[in-house]
Structure 1
Amino acid sequence: MEVFFLIVGSIVGLGFMILHGPKFYVSLFASHWKKVTGHILHLIVEEGEKFEGGRKTFQARIDYDYNYLGINRRASHFLARSDYDDRKDSKKRMDSYAMGQEINVYVYISCPSKSTLVSGVKYGNFVQILFGVGVLVLCLIQLQNVI
């Protein structure tokens, strides 16, 4: 039975790494991407549900445009990628932004349609990937001792 739980734990750790790895990668290397100037087009609060028929959640989203190598592009960025229970809390996240405002956009040179507004690793990204790696490593070490 112990082996089963260690395998499940390993799968959970691996799942965390797969789910949060791309965000961590972008945040880690975005500071080396090409920085261009963009403009905020829309500030939107998206409404959703965690589960069908469940409580409503809200996310702050910025739609922006930028020009790279003579091509105009549009993209979206979710602020903190967090869900809020209240529309007002989500709107507060956008207080420091205004439509038409100039912003720094970090463009992935190999694929200019990929961009982000944030460079550098944020605490949340680091904790998520560290948790996944930690759980995976601990479970694999314990599994090796059991087998």
Structure 2
Amino acid sequence: MAYLNPEATTPDLDEAAAAVGLQELVERLGGYETGIPPGGGDLSQGERQLITLARAYLSPAPVIVLDEATSHLDPATEARAENALATRSGTLIVIAHRITSAERAHQVLLLDGPVPLLGTHETLQTRSETYADLVGHWHT
């Protein structure tokens, strides 16, 4: 987990694991020192994503870009991880197709056609028929 922050302490690792919901997996694997073979071994796609999200949480990077980084997570775990990363200092950019990610965002950039639209989830629903349709299709 300390791949992007080799100076991370055990309390730092504990905080990151708790923040993204990784504690159960850490315990099941036998702790932070457990080696994971290349390709993730027997871990599911979602478990591998959680480890990567914990690494991002620990990273000192001032900007984090998540590109479909929660695609293998259930909605509750996705929300927990995105909210945890949003509490870090710095900038979080989330690229996602799930409307739930847009609903949590401070600003949403809609790229559809020649003119990009920037606004909150609420304002884009009134300013963009395309966005309103996406929201409507997601929730029905």
Higher RCO (CA-CA < 8 Å; seq separation 6+): 1
Superposition TM-score tier, normalisation by shorter sequence: under 0.3
TM-score (normalizing by structure 2): 0.22
Structure number having the greater strand percentage = 1
TM-score, normalising length from structure 1? 0.21
Q: If each structure's helix is expressed as a fraction of its own residues, which one has the higher value?
A: 2
Larger Rg: 1
